[in-house]
């Protein structure tokens, strides 16, 4: 007969001193790894009693309330909890805006989960067969499942640029950008790795052959029996190309890569439940301290005293410590009115570039004060690829000293110093969840 028991656990905090806390801070761990340790589980099914202690791994403190369903040889522990993290000292929000910052000093998190605890009984006295059990939260690490038996990857936003060079202004070069999605785990990598998942890729520009070798981790069957899986695959990219002058742009999207497992290695019990400390990525940076990195600002206008408009361009990328964006986005707009500081001009993205960050951008330009306001939408998928989050906000920046010269075409060109970058904080940040597969 199924029984539900709501209980209080009164274990002393000192008894949990040997519990290994997750290595990141409260905010980082709460986003990436909500989970709980179950310590010293005992039960008496005949009396409908159970006792245990929970430890919130993200916040590293003892929790005193939970619920249990007792069966013949198994107990199911249910956890629902909300908590606050103030390790980032998040400023209070403007109540007039729907902000990702809370109206209190800490960020609020909610998570729920359940886990089966195997019981060993001696008469009416039962206890867990494990010294410590683990309850995963609703945002736990993506699972692998049976999909890892036949690995498959999807290549998205592939951009191959072949510059043959002209011997003077254009230098011969080749470059490729792409995203890789492991269909077994949902893990997305843009030539860099999340959670230290190792992804190696080789592209042959002559044959267009693409090869991938990736190692990932699974514990979907049993958290006590995790495995490391290495898979390989290859395909010929169906690139669609166009040539302008000496530059050839080739693109493709949603290219499947079938693969096979090359090795599978057993890991230590619960080892992949210990998150690897990492710098802030897209989502956490967007929540606690969003800002943009700007560079290569350029203003082109006609010479003379009666000039009323100009062409403006600049490079933009999200400011994170662990960025998935290798290259900034080139944003430009022709016909910016120099005497109008109120109009928002939609930014166009440069040829051969993919607007990974931001998704959309518009800007205002104040010629008298040399200020630029940038209104952007950007999307983060680094924590939960199945549930992307779109952020929106405005950043206002004072331009650095510009170097101006007159070109051979009768234009006055003003640019920021070569290689110089500066940051601009984003204010009034709002966010919304997007449907799976919408990005």
pLDDT tens digits along 22-78: 556 787 777 767 788 888 888 888 888 888 888 888 888 787 666 788 877 888 888
pTM of whole model > 0.75? no
Residue 361 lies in a domain: yes
Is residue 295 domain-shared with residue 420, that is, in the same domain?
A: yes
Cα distances (Å, whole numbers) of residue 340 to 128, 229, 364, 366: 71, 58, 8, 7
Question: pLDDT over 90 for what percent of the chain?
Answer: 22
Among residues 136, 165, 180, the one where a domain terminates is 136
Cα separation, 415 vs 402, in Å, equals: 5
Number of domains in the chain: 3
Q: Given this model, what pLDDT does residue 98 score? A: 34
Q: Is the pLDDT of residue 341 over 80?
A: yes
Q: Beta partners for 116?
A: 76
- Dmax over CA atoms of the chain, in Å, equals 97
Query: What is residue 223's DSSP assignment?
Result: T
**Average pLDDT taken over every residue of the chain:** 77
pLDDT at residue 368 tops 70:
yes
Q: Would you give the distance in Å from CA 207 to the centre of its chain?
A: 33
Expressed as residue numbers, the domain containing 239 is: 145-273
Q: Using the 3D structure, point to which of 136, 166, 186 is the last residue of a domain.
A: 136
d(CA 328, CA 358): 9
Instruction: Report CA dihedral (159, 205, 236, 256) to the nearest 10 degrees.
Output: -30
> Which pLDDT score is estimated for 170?
66
Question: Which range has highest mean pLDDT (19-33, 84-98, 108-122, 164-178)?
Answer: 108-122
Q: In terms of domains, do 288 and 422 share one? A: yes
**Which structure tokens are listed for 88?**
């980032």
Tell me the CA distances in angstroms from 22 to 59, 116, 240, 339, one per residue in order: 9, 22, 46, 54
Query: Is 387 a residue whose pLDDT tops 70?
Result: yes
Q: Do residue 111 and residue 199 come from a single domain?
A: no
Instruction: For residues 119-129, give the mean pLDDT.
Output: 88
CA distance 225 to 107: 34
Q: What is the pLDDT of residue 255?
A: 93
């Amino acid at each position: 007969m199924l029984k539900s028991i709501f209980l209080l656990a009164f274990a002393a905090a000192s008894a949990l001193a040997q519990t290994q806390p997750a290595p990141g801070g409260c905010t980082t761990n709460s986003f990436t790894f909500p989970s709980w340790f179950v310590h010293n589980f005992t039960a008496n099914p005949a009396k409908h009693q159970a006792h245990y202690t929970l430890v919130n791994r993200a916040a590293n403190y003892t929790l005193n309330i939970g619920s249990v369903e007792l069966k013949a040889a198994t107990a199911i522990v249910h956890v629902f909890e909300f908590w606050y993290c103030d390790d980032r000292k998040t400023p209070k929000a403007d109540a007039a805006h729907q902000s990702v910052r809370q109206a209190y000093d800490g960020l609020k998190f909610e998570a729920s989960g359940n886990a089966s605890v195997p019981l060993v009984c001696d008469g009416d006295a039962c206890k867990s067969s494990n010294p410590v059990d683990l309850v995963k939260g609703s945002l736990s690490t993506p699972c692998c499942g049976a999909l890892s038996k036949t690995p498959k990857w999807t290549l998205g936003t592939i951009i191959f640029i072949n510059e043959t060079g002209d011997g003077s202004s254009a230098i011969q070069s080749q470059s490729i950008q792409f995203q890789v999605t492991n269909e077994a785990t949902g893990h997305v990598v843009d030539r860099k790795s999340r959670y230290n998942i190792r992804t190696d890729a080789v592209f042959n520009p002559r044959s267009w052959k693409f090869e991938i070798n990736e190692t990932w981790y699974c514990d979907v069957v049993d958290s006590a029996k995790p495995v490391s899986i290495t898979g390989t695959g290859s395909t010929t990219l169906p690139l669609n190309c166009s040539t302008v002058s000496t530059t050839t742009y080739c693109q493709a999207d949603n290219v499947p890569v079938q693969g096979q497992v090359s090795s599978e290695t057993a890991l230590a019990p619960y080892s992949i439940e210990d998150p690897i400390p990492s710098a802030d990525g897209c989502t956490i940076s967007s929540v606690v301290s969003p800002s943009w990195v700007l560079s290569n600002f350029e203003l082109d206008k006609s010479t003379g005293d009666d000039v009323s408009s100009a062409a403006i361009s600049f490079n933009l990328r999200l400011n994170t410590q662990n960025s998935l964006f290798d290259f900034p986005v080139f944003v430009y707009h022709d016909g910016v009115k120099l005497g109008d500081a109120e109009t928002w001009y939609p930014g166009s993205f440069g040829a051969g570039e993919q607007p990974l960050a931001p998704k959309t951008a518009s800007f205002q330009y104040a010629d008298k004060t040399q200020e630029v306001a940038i209104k952007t939408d950007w999307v983060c998928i680094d924590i939960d690829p199945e549930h992307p989050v779109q952020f929106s906000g405005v950043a206002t920046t004072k331009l650095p000293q510009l170097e101006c010269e007159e070109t051979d075409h009768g234009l006055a060109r003003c640019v920021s110093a070569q290689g110089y970058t500066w940051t601009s904080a984003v204010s009034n940040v709002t966010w919304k969840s997007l449907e799976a597969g919408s990005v």
